């Protein structure tokens, strides 16, 4: 059984054009840990950048078995 967890990101690094052989990725700093979402759809890069620019909450979701790999990102605009 997978247990999902979530946390609010305090910083991010977006890599929409990585070096050859590496995937596109968004890295979020959540609770002092870096967590990564690989192969996000192109609009996710804009969504995360806008969320941080307007101080919206960016929430990363992961499971306990692979805590450094994000399963999804959710943006709350309040």
Task: Give the integer Cα–Cα distance in Å for 78 and 36.
Answer: 24
Give the pLDDT band (50/70/90) at residue 1.
low
Mean pLDDT of 3-8: 95
Secondary structure of residue 56 in the 3-state scheme? coil
Q: Which helix (H) or strand (E) holds 8?
A: strand 4-15
Which two three-digit tokens encode residue 77? 């605009």
Interval 6-41: pLDDT, tens: 999 999 999 999 999 999 999 999 999 999 999 999
Contact yes or no for 71/4 (Cβ under 8 A):
yes
pLDDT for 16 equals 94
At 24, which CATH number? 2.40.50
Domain that holds residue 21: 4-76
- This prediction's pTM: 0.92
Number of domains within the chain: 1
Could you tell me the CA-to-CA distances from 42 to 34, 37, 39, 72 in Å, in that order? 21, 12, 9, 14
């Amino acid at each position: 059984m997978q247990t999902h967890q979530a946390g609010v990101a305090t910083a991010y690094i977006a890599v929409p054009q990585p070096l050859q052989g590496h995937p596109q990725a968004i890295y979020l700093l959540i609770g002092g840990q870096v967590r990564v979402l690989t192969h996000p759809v192109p609009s996710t890069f804009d969504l995360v950048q806008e969320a941080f620019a307007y101080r919206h909450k960016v929430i990363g979701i992961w499971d306990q078995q692979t805590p450094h790999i994000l399963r999804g990102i959710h943006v709350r605009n309040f």
